[in-house]
Amino acid sequence: MTSGNTVFASSPRAPRTMRRGVTLSLVIGACIVAAAPLAAQRPSLTYPVTATVPHVDDYHGTKVADPFRWLEDDTASAVKAWVGQQNAVTFKYLESIPYRGALLARLKELSNYPRTSMPVRRKGWVWYSRNSGLQNQSVYYIQRGLAGKSDVLIDPNTLTADGTTRVGGFEFDGAGKHLGYTLSKAGSDWQEIHVMDPVTRRDLADQVRWVKVSGIAWYKSGFYYSRYPTPADTTKALSGVNENHQVFYHVLGTSQSQDRLVYADASNPQRFHTASVTDDERFLILDISDRGKGADGNAVWVRDLTKADTAWRKVVTGFDKQFSVIDNDGGALLVLTNASAPNRRVVRIDPAAPDAAHWKTVIPEQKEVLEGVANVGGHLLASYLKDVTSRVVEYRYDGTKVRDVSLPGVGTAGFGSGERTDTDAFFSFTSFTAPPTTYRFDLAKGTSVVHQATTLPFDPSAFETKQVFAASKDGTKIPMFIVAKKGLKLDGRNPTLVYGYGGFNISTLPGFSASRIAWLEQGGVYVSVNMRGGGEYGEAWHEAGMKGRKQNVFDDFVAAAEWMIANKYTSKDKLVMQGGSNGGLLVGAVMAQRPDLFKVALPAVGVMDMLRFQKFTIGWNWVADYGSSDNAADFSYLVKYSPLHNLKNGTAYPATLVTTADHDDRVVPAHSFKFAARLQQAHRGANPVLIRIETSSGHGSSSLTKALEVTADQYAFTMTNLGMSPTYPPATVKAP
């Protein structure tokens, strides 16, 4: 494993969070509510009139109007006024839903249980995070060894009054004397690196700013990191394009202005350059990606730090395949790659003879995709996906198979990496109905014991999960998980929420959500669809849903929804679609193509303007998956499915609640602003089409409180428009 490798995901996806409120037992007991008649719940809706401008762009000879271009200026007073007007209409509607408060209270009750992360061991220290139940941010703890006394290391809840400052990556130096960590504010992807003495728990004066897509790679008396130049206009820091990613070395005790530039490439401003150091501090690894030019792989360069190399040795020079350095083993690099192996393999590469002809296969490619590799105690723990569920195989560094690792059930397992001297490893296991539980795995014996169990305030055994396969438009079998109450009647009347992502080689795996219980216990069905574009079946599956083949993703999602109808789970009037980020694009595109199929649409922080996404922050990074309107061939297919450009006047669209946030600097809120304005302009029908714009939040909710409030509003909006009659407290799902 390489140290300092905490890197923000380059894809546009989002996390979830929440916080404690009033005394829950009293609130729940008092809120026995049945839905009022649907018409009585809806206030009269008059949408704000959104001004238009006569702006037209010429794309390779095709004229495309952009009348809402002015909404891209996130700091303009007119845009801020528009946001206020839209929120006023939206929140008036949401506040009219009689059970909205009871639903939020129920979400808080369901989420009010202790959660502890998998422990990480470094240089004699053990650190982990813990949330007592409804804290805005998890608190980080540290101790000496697994048996040591646990002390608070960092409590992010004390850093800002509203609890919206988050802690990101942690990395100890080689001696365990210093700890580097990152902070981000109000949900932004921008980070600051701070340094702490883990003994005194006090911060040093060192502070590094304008960091994005970076690790903290310790070496001797400092660390390597990646950053962008300070924006010329800091007021545009949340929307301006990010270019010229550079690698620096910071020496402890000095100011950032004295940091040494390690690598920059002004001739290729839209590349990522990230640095890491192998655990033995022998090799400095430089990872270079060129996704802005449509390349989906990365180059790997190294320096041998024991020889004081000043020149980079180019181990991998192309950008068409993916390479991730796992560890240094006797001067050779263990590398996870999809080169000549779409389902990935592990190879040994000698930096002195890096030609592919000299690579040695350590773990060969299998028919199942190799999702990731953790290295602990001289062992490699390879995690595979078999029909979207985990299986793990233990290998030695020479590729000798030790055993298949026994897992607690069918679900998702994730191993954490460790150190060469470790004799055991930690892994977390979860499923749709089982909360994350940490296990301790003995590397020699192959046995596991529970290290940290999770006690829930409800009983998830009332629900069950089944996996089915739907045939897409071209006949491809699409896996999907269905979660519902046991004994569900297949009468075509069940409210059904269909969720999808489908992109960036990201696998949508079985995972637990306490908030989801609030939907399931009211008779709702939850469906997770594993569409093409993701990584569930390797690179071939990913490529089948990218660029000019993106339509496959939308077809897969539609096929899943139609399967649910055909098999009498639900009907069009009871169907909901939900997705965030790239999944928000999915919802927007399907709305435009099949407005008749779903009753409710919940697009969150979506990429809605497929002709201009590359013009903001790191949007150019998505060209590898989407293509770019700057290219004539790419424009020809992008314009056909871009959600913003395919809404049609006079069409009755599903009841829609668009959600975004003012500090989203990954998928800038202008995408959602323009889409909502166009939707309100085009829509003809009784269904409400609204936008909810969060403040001091980003691509994912910046606090537990905000996440709960957004979820409550999404569910309340959905239940109202499906004509559901939720009752509180619910009749099922009691504590064990």
Residue 342 to residue 727: CA distance in whole angstroms: 49
C-alpha neighbours within 13 Å on the C-beta side of residue 228: 22
pLDDT at residue 2 tops 80: no
For the chain, what is the mean pLDDT? 93
pLDDT tens, position by position, 400-457 = 999 999 999 999 999 999 999 999 999 999 999 999 999 999 999 999 999 999 999 9
Joined tokens for residue 703: 């606090």
Amino acid letter, residue 709: E
Q: What is the pLDDT of residue 308?
A: 75
Cβ neighbors of 281 (< 8 A, separation 6 or more) are: 174, 218, 219, 220, 305
Q: How far apart are the first and last CA of the chain?
A: 40
Q: Is 200 helix (H, G, I), strand (E, B) or coil?
A: coil
Cβ neighbors of 324 (< 8 A, separation 6 or more) are: 335, 336, 337
Q: What is the pLDDT of residue 209?
A: 98
| Beta-bridge mates of residue 332 | 329
pLDDT tens, position by position, 191-230 = 999 999 999 999 999 999 999 999 999 999 999 999 999 9
pLDDT tens, position by position, 549-581 = 999 999 999 999 999 999 999 999 999 999 999
Q: What is the pLDDT of residue 43?
A: 58
pLDDT at residue 375 tops 90: yes
Q: What is the pLDDT of residue 14?
A: 32
| Contact yes or no for 259/249 (Cβ under 8 A) | yes
pLDDT tens, position by position, 640-652 = 999 999 999 999 9
- Give me the percent of the chain exceeding a pLDDT of 90: 92
| Contact yes or no for 128/670 (Cβ under 8 A) | no
Of the residues 581, 672, 697, 702, which is catalytic? 581
pLDDT tens, position by position, 581-623 = 999 999 999 999 999 999 999 999 999 999 999 999 999 999 9
Residue 679 to residue 578: CA distance in whole angstroms: 17
pLDDT at residue 27 tops 70: no
Q: Is 699 a catalytic residue?
A: yes
Angle, CA 41 vertex, CA 36 and CA 42 arms, to 5°: 160
Of the residues 194, 696, 699, 701, which is catalytic? 699
DSSP 86-145: HHHHHHHHHHT-TTHHHHHHHHHHHH-S-EEPPPEEETTEEEEEEE-SS-SSPEEEEEES
Domains 24-109+458-722 and 114-365 share a fold: no
pLDDT tens, position by position, 470-490 = 999 999 999 999 999 999 999
Cis peptide before 595 (omega within 30 of 0): no
pLDDT tens, position by position, 247-267 = 999 999 999 999 999 999 999
CATH classification of 24-109+458-722, choosing from 1.10.1070.20, 3.30.160.60, 3.20.20.140, 3.40.50.1820?
3.40.50.1820
Question: Residue 176: left (phi > 0), alpha (psi -120 to 50), or beta?
Answer: left
Q: Residues 160-180: what's their mean pLDDT?
A: 94
Q: Residues 323-329: what's their mean pLDDT?
A: 97
Read off the pLDDT band of 724 (50, 70, 90): very high
Residue 375 to residue 198: CA distance in whole angstroms: 25
pLDDT at residue 726 tops 90: yes
Q: Residues 160-173: what's their mean pLDDT?
A: 94
Cβ neighbors of 335 (< 8 A, separation 6 or more) are: 300, 323, 324, 325, 326, 346, 347, 348, 349
Q: Residues 77-88: what's their mean pLDDT?
A: 97
Read off the pLDDT band of 732 (50, 70, 90): low
| Contact yes or no for 208/226 (Cβ under 8 A) | no
pLDDT tens, position by position, 337-357 = 999 999 999 999 999 999 999
- Give me the percent of the chain exceeding a pLDDT of 70: 93
Residue 288 to residue 298: CA distance in whole angstroms: 5
pLDDT at residue 60 tops 80: yes
Q: Is 529 helix (H, G, I), strand (E, B) or coil?
A: strand
Joined tokens for residue 275: 């640095």
Angle, CA 67 vertex, CA 62 and CA 68 arms, to 5°: 125
Angle, CA 704 vertex, CA 506 and CA 428 arms, to 5°: 50
Q: What is the pLDDT of residue 18?
A: 26
pLDDT at residue 19 tops 60: no
| DSSP class of 351 | T
Q: Is 581 a catalytic residue?
A: yes
Query: What's domain 114-365's architecture?
Result: 7 Propeller (2.130)
Higher pLDDT, 733 or 650: 650
Q: What is the pLDDT of residue 309?
A: 72
* Number of other CB atoms surrounding residue 348 within 10 Å: 18
pLDDT at residue 368 tops 60: yes
Spell out the domain ranges in the chain.
24-109+458-722, 114-365, 368-454
pLDDT at residue 294 tops 90: yes
pLDDT at residue 188 tops 80: yes
